Amino acid sequence: MRTVKLSSGVKGWQGKLHENYVSFQEFFEYDKMYGLAKRLGFSSAVSAWNHNPVIQGGVNPSDFKLVSDGQTYVTGMKGEFICPECGGNKIEGTGNISWCVSKQKWQVESVMDKGDYCEDCDREVEAEFVILKGAKAPKLPVVSG
């Protein structure tokens, strides 16, 4: 579990689901109270537990969210990758593509969380995912506590 700065500006934590909850039973209890699995985009607590996704959270309930491939996103919120050095968005990612015969085009199979490249800085950077200004948060169940 590491400490991270959340999109709301406050300090929070980030880690695997299994790191944050001692047992499925514990997660299950919290899920019943706060609907955690649904907030993360999973259909049930069991499904979320089996995927063991990387999640982020903090004091603010709206900060509880899914982190994918080292890149943070809130389901349904638009954002972009920016360079932490120059703030530009001419970022190239690294990943695997494969040719899709039916669609007749290259498809992204997976995106690496390392190996981002900034065209302006002309070197490898660790791009940050930022939510676009004015992007609306998806409607989530209200969580207290």
The stretch near Zn ion (CB under 5 A) out of 24-32, 56-64, 121-129, 131-139 is: 121-129
> Do 93 and 81 contact (CB within 8 A), yes or no?
yes
Residue 130 binds to Zn ion (criterion: CB under 5 A)? no
Q: For Zn ion, which residue of 59, 86, 97, 108 counts as binding (CB under 5 A)? A: 86
Q: Under the criterion CB under 5 A, does residue 108 sit at the interface with Zn ion?
A: no
DSSP 25-45: HHHHHHHHHH-HHHHTT-SSH
- Residue 105, burial from CB neighbour count under 10 angstroms (0-12, 13-18, 19+): exposed
Tokens of 145: 């506590």
Please give the single-letter amino acid code of residue 104.
Answer: Q
Number of H helices, E strands in the chain: 4, 12
Q: Which is nearer to Zn ion, 62 or 89 (CB)?
A: 89
- Binding mask of the shown chain, residues 35 to 54, with x at each position contacting Zn ion by CB under 5 A: --------------------
Nearest to Zn ion of 26, 92 (CB atom)? 92
121 binds Zn ion (CB under 5 A): yes
Distance CA 114, CA 125 (A): 9
Residue 91 touches Zn ion, criterion: CB under 5 A: no
- Round to whole Å and give the CA distance between 43 and 93: 30
Q: Segment contacting Zn ion (CB under 5 A): 42-50, 63-71, 84-92, 96-104?
A: 84-92
The residue ranges that bind Zn ion (CB under 5 A) are 83, 85-86, 88, 118, 120-121
